[in-house]
Amino acid sequence: MTVENPVAQGSTTAVGEDRWVEPELARLARRAAAEGTVLLANDGALPLPADEPVAVFGRVQLDWFAVGYGSGGDVNAAYEHILLDCLVERGVPVDAELAAVYREWCAANSPEQGEWGNWPRYYEEMPLEDSLVDAVASRARRAVVVIGRAAGEDRENVLEPGSYYLTDAEERLLAQVTSRFETVTAIVCSGNVMDLSWAEGRVDALLMAWPGGMEGAPAVADVLIGAVEPGGRLTDTIARRYEDYPSSEHFGGKDFNEYAEDVLVGYRYFETLAKDTVLFPFGHGLGYTTVDLAPGELVVERTGGPTGGTARVAVTATNTGERPGSTVVQVYAGAPQAPALATPARRLVAYQRTEELAPGAAQELTLAFPMDRLASFDDSGATGHRNDWVLEAGAHEVLVGSSVRETTSAGTVDVDDAVVLEQLEEALAPDPAHPFQRMTLTTGADGCPALAWEDVPTSTVDLRERIVSRLPRAIETDAPADGSTLTLQDVAADRAELDAFIAQLSPAELADLTFGDVIMDSPLGVPGNAGAFGGVTKALRDRGIPAVTTTDGPSGIRVSAYASLLPCGTALASTWDPALLTELARHHGAEMIRKGSDVLLAPGMNIHRDPLCGRNFEYYSEDPLVAGLTAAAVVTGIQANGVSACPKHLVANNQETNRIHNDSRISQRALREIYLRGFRLCVELAAPLNIMTSYNKVNGQWSHYNYDLVTTILRGEWGYQGNVITDWWMRYAPDPLFPALADSATRVRAGVDVLMPGAPSWSGTHAEGHDSSELEALDADDASGEHLTLGELQRSVRNVLRMLLASGKVEDYVPTEPEWREPVVH
Ligand code: BGC
């Protein structure tokens, strides 16, 4: 069945007056927002001196961007602040006359907020008479110019003024200010990296303030006056021109994108091949003090197994400046000489934020990392070990520093002979029908790495044969001797095995467990929720299976009630401080309980492949280690409360253009080293109870129908035991391998457990219910795989029920019918 299925989103209008936010949650949010603010340049302009007048320009000082748009932004924020007020409250002597002009103009020119997908990317700047700027400049020597951008879901940023580039009015404002003031600080409040080449040589300080949620503006004010440090470090490279990004020629395609840059994403490309095109390198960020990093001993402990052992590097961090402060110690690996596989000149292998150091004080740190962070995935057989993770022979330099550029060698990890760390099988390789070329490296005439191209190895696997040969068997279990009917509470109390309970479920009940409730804002959950799954029918609830409520998302709990608005994903990641993020997420998880959310549809952790991706603000980094460790920190904090997280979108949801049809064509190597790597780290370190698949196709197959993605890799290679759900309102499609299957039968065969929401179309109603006929038409033990088997359906149900059991909602669940909102009718 194919239905037209545009994305529909629940509307969330705030109800009730409960704007209470736990003070500790607000404090941590403010700390994270400040720690994520990146000071890109500072020629002594910041912090602002307490007693000098400062003129603040730009309407964004009032029309502040606290978050981006869409499911990752539409939180009914309990409160928000604006920068100008925060500066005034802190006693900053802002030019009052100028402030009054802005207040009056902004009040009269309130920006339209627009509908889904048509939100403003910027607000038109207030025109300023030269005479006014002259008058202000006669009263103040210092100026601050605030520029802002917002991005959102379901569309891209564009290479136009008002999005990636400055508008003429902004350009004029900058010219007016920089020509008249002695010291100019530019603040860019933007969820995405935008062109910053205009700042070069023109401003004295440049501060990147990612939308920091309800506490973002106070955090930026704290930073400006020096009450706290700008703690952030870039999680992306900022290039001088958009065209310099290695993805730029293969981004935004309507039907597909060839990931031609392969593993040379972000700094992996720039540091290897195009150093001169970088404006601000990955990992860069200044504080208000200087911290010297001196590497000490590098100790390597080699073992067998997939990690290959551990390397430890000692570092002494000494505050050599005059103010207290901390820094982020970053450890990178270099490439060995003449590797068989093109190896980027730098790969981040570990990082740690120091404690706050008093002037002159030092901290001894030891940063440990598994040896597999030096390994590469061989998808071509160049090392003689095709489809394996290989630690190549040679001297792997280990470098310690404060950015990918500012490093000191700590020695080398010497590998005599190449070591296979993990033997895998080919999975998710590009379709031979769509071959393409990828970037690789050769040695140039000057002995430096040079760009070359090679064919991407394509798939050789008979996927149909793989699936059929691995069909799970149906549960064979004896019914309870006394003929009793089990409940899920029996399983929770260890009175029965989970499989014995599953064996008692009828095909219709099994099928129902693989569909979410059919609408967003399910009556089974709190108003404004994103949907529910689990006990979505009365029959299931009578068996003791509760429904769980899902809510977005990465910047806060998106329900009808007021909730905390947290710093966006990029802001959080820019802290490089997993311990802080776990603590923040722990308090966020406690708010989930208060607001009635069981599953947070977060973190968003797709790779920042290209600066134009509209959802980059929700995501973390161009680097998979930062993305993975940040996500693991957030998941750990949320799940410490018993509620659960749902990292998304697996995998390669790297653009919004035509996102529900677009095919991301990627080599196995780039998938494993870049796009899947963060998810794997998150799974291994934090065991999220749920994972969400992406809208897009990967190498020709939608993620929610993708067997190799979910069953071969996620579950097979990584051992993931949790629940896999789809993104919202998915495409229906015939099965390309099994003519009798389609839609949800293909999905369950792939190992994707729950369709969200479980409607036959986006306009599904409760009266319509969901269509599970293709699941119920199963052939119990069809070894040919022509039909869905009972074992496959039971496998998905086992994943869903394991998640529910871990959610802590089962033990005391008493089957109840929702009385307070429209009852569910299936
Ligand atoms: C987004 C998801 C989100 C879901 C539910 C989709 O449009 O891609 O990230 O969690 O909606 O709101």
Cα 601 to ligand 1 centre (Å): 8
Three state DSSP letters for 749-816 = HHCCCEEECCCCCCCCCCCCCCCCHHHHCCCCCCCCCCCCCHHHHHHHHHHHHHHHHHCCCCCCCCCC
Q: Return the best residue to mutate from 153, 559, 619 for the ligand 1 pocket (most ligand atoms within 8 A of CB).
A: 153
Give the Cβ contact number of residue 43 at 10 Å: 12
Give the nearest ligand 1 atom to 558 CA. 12
Nearest C-alpha to atom 3 of ligand 1 is from which residue? 71
* Cis bond before residue 3 (omega within 30° of 0): no
Helix axes 130-139, 96-108, angle to 10 degrees: 140
Instruction: Measure the CA–CA gap between 683 and 689, rounded to whole angstroms.
Output: 9
Nearest C-alpha to atom 9 of ligand 1 is from which residue? 71
**pLDDT tens per residue, range 218-241:** 999 999 999 999 999 999 999 999
Q: Return the best residue to mutate from 519, 555, 601, 619 for the ligand 1 pocket (most ligand atoms within 8 A of CB).
A: 601
Give the nearest ligand 1 atom to 9 CA. 12
The pLDDT assigned to 300 comes to 97
* CATH no. for 23-249: 3.40.50.1700
**pLDDT tens per residue, range 300-355:** 999 988 999 999 999 999 999 999 999 999 999 999 999 999 999 999 999 999 99
The residues assigned a catalytic role are: 727
Among 522-531, 549-558, 814-823, top mean pLDDT goes to: 549-558
Q: Return the best residue to mutate from 555, 659, 728, 731 for the ligand 1 pocket (most ligand atoms within 8 A of CB).
A: 728
| Ordered strands of the 309-319 beta sheet | 291-302, 309-319, 362-370
Nearest C-alpha to atom 8 of ligand 1 is from which residue? 727
Q: Return the best residue to mutate from 5, 11, 71, 755 for the ligand 1 pocket (most ligand atoms within 8 A of CB).
A: 71
Cα 694 to ligand 1 centre (Å): 9
Cα 229 to ligand 1 centre (Å): 34
**pLDDT tens per residue, range 478-489:** 778 788 899 999
Percent of the chain with pLDDT over 90: 89
Give the nearest ligand 1 atom to 695 CA. 8
Cα 558 to ligand 1 centre (Å): 11
Residue ranges of E strands in 232-375? 238-239, 256-258, 278-280, 291-302, 309-319, 328-333, 347-353, 362-370
Cα 602 to ligand 1 centre (Å): 10
H or E segment at 542? Answer: helix 538-542
Give the nearest ligand 1 atom to 648 CA. 9
Cα 649 to ligand 1 centre (Å): 9
Cα 615 to ligand 1 centre (Å): 11
Classify residue 193 by its DSSP letter.
-
Partners of 650 in the beta sheet?
693
Decide if domain 465-806 falls under CATH 3.30.565.10: no
* Cis bond before residue 704 (omega within 30° of 0): no
Pull the structure tokens for residue 481.
């001797």
Instruction: Measure the CA–CA gap between 518 and 455, rounded to whole angstroms.
Output: 44
- The mean predicted confidence, pLDDT, of the chain is 94
Give the nearest ligand 1 atom to 653 CA. 8
Instruction: Measure the CA–CA gap between 317 and 320, rounded to whole angstroms.
Output: 9
The angle subtended at Cα 456 by Cα 451 and Cα 459, nearest 5°, is 170
Nearest C-alpha to atom 4 of ligand 1 is from which residue? 728
| Chain-centre distance for alpha carbon 378 | 26
Short-list 623, 680, 681, 626, CA closest to 352: 626
The answer, yes or no, to whether residue 526 has pLDDT greater than 60, is yes
Alpha helix (H) residue ranges in 674-766:
677-686, 707, 743-750
Instruction: Measure the CA–CA gap between 373 and 334, rounded to whole angstroms.
Output: 11
Class of domain 289-322+324-426: mainly beta
**Mean pLDDT computed over 588-612:** 98
The answer, yes or no, to whether residue 825 has pLDDT greater than 50, is no
**pLDDT tens per residue, range 396-454:** 999 999 999 999 999 999 999 999 999 999 999 999 999 999 999 999 999 999 999 99
Nearest C-alpha to atom 6 of ligand 1 is from which residue? 728
Give the nearest ligand 1 atom to 601 CA. 10
Give the Cβ contact number of residue 783 at 10 Å: 11
**Ligand 1, residues at Cβ distance < 6 Å:** 7, 71, 530, 552-553, 601, 648, 727-728
Cα 798 to ligand 1 centre (Å): 24
Structural domain boundaries in the chain: 23-249, 289-322+324-426, 465-806
**Mean pLDDT computed over 585-593:** 98
| Chain-centre distance for alpha carbon 799 | 24
